[in-house]
């Protein structure tokens, strides 16, 4: 189990600790198994699903700190550098946009409703990834 995660961003590689009790703390604690054997798109998808599942299944809403957003930002930038994701969108804005939408899950998600936590996670991950694909992005910075 990993307690800190190395991410790289505009300031270079660094380690961070997630906020205790945050949904991303769950993702970080399972990060080694999430990232094993997958490309950057697979890692970002898995992390996004895990965050959503933890957010709707947990007792508190997700209020990510800087370190949680940096995890996603770092994965987005890695995908942009490798050409998997469009580079016309700012990775930090996309990460903030994702976490803002996850935060609003508590306003509509019903544990006994039509959506399961996993289905909500897969849907949000697909929205995130579809918006990052080069053909889908026409927004200039």
pLDDT tens digit sequence for 50-75: 888 888 876 554 555 566 778 888 89
- Tell me the residue range of the domain where 31 lies: 5-136
Q: How far apart are CA 137 and CA 97, in angstroms?
A: 15
141 within domain boundaries: no
Considering only residues 18 and 101, tell me which one the structure prediction assigns the higher pLDDT. 101
Instruction: Please state, in angstroms and rounded to a whole number, the distance separating the CA atoms of residues 31 and 37.
Output: 12
Q: Percentage of the chain surpassing pLDDT 70?
A: 62
Q: Is residue 111 part of a domain?
A: yes
Question: How far apart (Å, rounded) are the C-alpha atoms in residues 16 and 100?
Answer: 21
Tally of domains in the chain: 1
Question: Do residues 19 and 25 lie in contact, with contact meaning Cβ atoms separated by under 8 Å?
Answer: yes
Assign residue 25 the CATH number of its domain.
1.10.357.10
Say if residue 44's pLDDT is above 80: yes
């Amino acid at each position: 189990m990993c307690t800190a995660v190395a991410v790289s961003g505009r300031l270079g590689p660094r380690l961070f600790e997630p906020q205790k009790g945050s949904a991303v703390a769950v993702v970080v604690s399972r990060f080694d198994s999430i990232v094993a054997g997958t490309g950057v798109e697979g890692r970002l998808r898995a992390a996004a699903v895990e965050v959503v599942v933890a957010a709707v299944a947990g007792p508190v809403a997700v209020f990510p700190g800087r370190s949680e957003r940096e995890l996603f930002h770092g994965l987005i930038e890695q995908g942009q550098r490798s050409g998997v994701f469009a580079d016309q969108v700012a990775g930090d804005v996309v990460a903030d946009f994702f976490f803002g939408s996850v935060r609003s899950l508590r306003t509509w998600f019903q544990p006994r409703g039509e959506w399961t936590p996993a289905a909500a996670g897969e849907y949000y991950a697909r929205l995130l990834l579809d918006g990052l694909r080069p053909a889908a992005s026409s927004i200039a910075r």
